[in-house]
A and B are shown apart, each in its own frame.
Chain A
């Protein structure tokens, strides 16, 4: 008789251990302002949707059982005052000598700078809170236009509760020469950093925008980021969008991103991912007008026990559209990467040219890269190709390099740099290339 309760206790503790924890956010945390109705709509989706389980196809390879959802709190107003400040190097221009504008988003605060000349030209580059107060009509044209909060738990969470965000609008025909730069800095523990980026590059306009998310490494602690990125590249417009993440090893990072490119619009989208404990990122390209083109270039390097999962989608929704995706990653330690890509060609989207390739270099015995390309083509006059490879560091090239006096470690680094060179060749910004080379150096010598 006495033994029975013990058995029950054991089985109950097993069950609770296997179940995902729940977030403890509440509806009254929805920020007030003109977006509150939209946010409440997202909140309904949020309450309806569960934290994704590995039974869902998109999450099959990314397990959230260990996510300590119940500990995350929204940062209080001015929380940054008691947290480590943004390091100087993150504020330096990456793609030119000077910024046209810079926004720094920190827990419970933000700062905004924009060149006077750009202000006169009608460029808007500000934080979400300011945009809600000053540009409600513009915001209405930007929010909810490419990402639907019902797409997932984290999308709905981000839309409902984002305290921080960036709003960028470039008016018709305006060409912004100096790049715009935003930094999302997420120090602290047990915090939920929630961001929403909104960009509209109007007809014939042109801009380079760099967004960087980062935080200090804090082993043994946990924070999270949930983000939504919504971008529209209008007819004949041109956007170069660089996204870098170097989250600390304590960060669980989730994002839903979609860029829509209209007729004859041009997008050059560059990703660099070296941080976070776990990342699940959905990046989608919608080519909706004839002649729209989009290039996606991804760099990732994982080590330790990092887990990075990039889900990309190239949607050809109009004829004569072109997409070109190359993601390359290296892995060390017992880290893991997942890339899952899809080219979709809608019925009638003839003369489509779609390309996707994912290359992985696994540098240790215990690291693992999953690479899953996909095509879904519903038009008949198209050219779509894809490729996926997972390779190891070969001994013969290393011996060759060593036979020229290059020590083992440098020889390995040289081979890895060579592996990434095709990505470097696609990045027109020296500062970004240097950042990636530095990341290779850091990861290789760690």
Chain B
């Protein structure tokens, strides 16, 4: 079983320390949620795990399947089984969803066998059609330029479509609920639920509890000031819903801040 182990992670951006000793372990098959107010470093954690060049790791370790994740390039992390659903997916004009996904799948195949000829087109089409039906996406979507002119809901659905096609072992969903109306939220959550299972571990990063009505975590963590300060079961999320973050702030925020 694959597990992602984060030990005492310190991360800075432009010289400012954002993560200040974060510890977390996520196993395949588990659903974790990280909640916390804005500016506590939730997205920094997501980008750092994916290897964004703007985030400098200044201390700590991240291990995945006996590999030091921090030594891998972003594309190698992806092929190792890590996936990040972006809060703000980037548009790639001129590159269709289908072309992009086929390139991503072929990159995986070629990493295993450099002589690979690529996924046969009929097999790829069939797979794409199934995944798009799962996410209630119109088939014309495959021919549109990736995230180019997509609505907020379309972008998030496209992220989940990529997750479905790439079958990661650990998926990180960064504020996937932001900018979604209730119908889109339901469709996206149903997609995530259909994909999660013993093969995939999920880390849901969210500000609000409402997403957790749809995606049920077994583990809930509260993040504050660049660390995980409380961990518990689903009841912790409900407690936050009722009481807000004030009690967490009072308990953990340094007086200087």
Contact = CB atoms under 8 A, between A and B. Distances in A.
Interface in A410-443: 410-411, 414-415, 417-422
Contacts of A177: none
A60 interface: no
Given A406-B103, A414-B103, A399 B53 contact: yes
Interface in B13-50: 50
17 contacts: A397-B90, A397-B92, A399-B52, A400-B89, A403-B51, A403-B84, A404-B75, A404-B78, A404-B104, A405-B78, A405-B107, A406-B75, A414-B100, A415-B92, A418-B93, A418-B95, A418-B145
A417 to B, nearest CB: 7
Nearest to B93: A418
A357 to B, nearest CB: 14
B166 A404 contact: yes
Given A395-B53, A399-B53, A399-B74, A405 B95 contact: no
Contact of B86 (A395, A400, A406): A400
A397 B74 CA distance: 13
A397 B93 CA distance: 10
B75 A402 contact: yes
Nearest to A413: B103
Given A415-B95, A419-B94, 5 more contacts: A397-B92, A404-B166, A405-B75, A407-B75, A408-B75
A414 B95 contact: yes
A419 B89 CA distance: 18
B16 to A, nearest CB: 20
Nearest to B105: A405
A414 B92 contact: yes
Contacts of B104: 401, 404-406
A138 to B, nearest CB: 44
Interface bracket on B: 20 to 34
A414 B100 CA distance: 8
Nearest to A407: B75
A26 to B, nearest CB: 51
B18 to A, nearest CB: 18
A397 B99 CA distance: 15
B53 A401 contact: no
A403 B100 contact: no
Nearest to B95: A418
B113 to A, nearest CB: 15
Given A405-B78, A405-B166, A410 B107 contact: yes
Most chain B CB within 10 A, of A403, A405, A406, A410, is at: A405
Nearest to A401: B92
Contact of B78 (A396, A403, A417): A403
Contacts of A420: 94
Given A395-B53, A396-B90, A418-B145, A402 B95 contact: no
B107 A407 contact: yes
B127 interface: no
Nearest to A404: B104
Interface bracket on A: 20 to 34
Contacts of B107: 404-407, 410
Contacts, number: 78
A419 B93 contact: yes
A414 B92 CA distance: 9
A417 B74 contact: no
B102 to A, nearest CB: 11
Contact of B92 (A395, A403, A407, A418): A418
A397 B100 CA distance: 12
A402 B74 contact: yes
A405 B145 CA distance: 19
Contacts of A395: 53
Most chain B CB within 10 A, of A404, A411, A420, is at: A404
B73 interface: yes
Nearest to B50: A403
Contacts of B108: 405
A396 B89 CA distance: 10
A421 B103 contact: no
Interface in B55-75: 73-75
Contacts of A414: 92, 95, 99-100, 103
A419 B148 CA distance: 13
Contacts of B78: 402-405
A414 B102 CA distance: 11
Interface in B77-122: 77-79, 83-84, 86, 89-95, 99-100, 103-104, 107-108, 111
A421 B111 CA distance: 27
A417 B95 contact: yes
Contact of B79 (A396, A405, A421): A405
Contacts of A397: 90-92
Contacts of B176: none
B166 to A, nearest CB: 7
Contact of A400 (B92, B111, B145): B92
A167 B32 CA distance: 73
Contacts of A404: 75, 78, 100, 104, 107, 162, 166
Given A399-B53, A414-B103, A418-B145, A405 B92 contact: no
Contacts of B94: 417-422
Chain A to chain B: the 5 pairs with minimum beta-carbon distance, closest first: A418-B94, A421-B94, A405-B78, A418-B95, A400-B90
Nearest to A422: B94
Contacts of B92: 397, 400-401, 414-415, 418
Contacts of A411: 75
Contacts of A417: 94-95
Given A414-B100, A418-B145, A403 B95 contact: no
Contacts of B89: 400
Nearest to B145: A418
Nearest to B165: A404
Contacts of B145: 418, 421
Nearest to A424: B94
Contacts of B95: 414-415, 417-418, 421
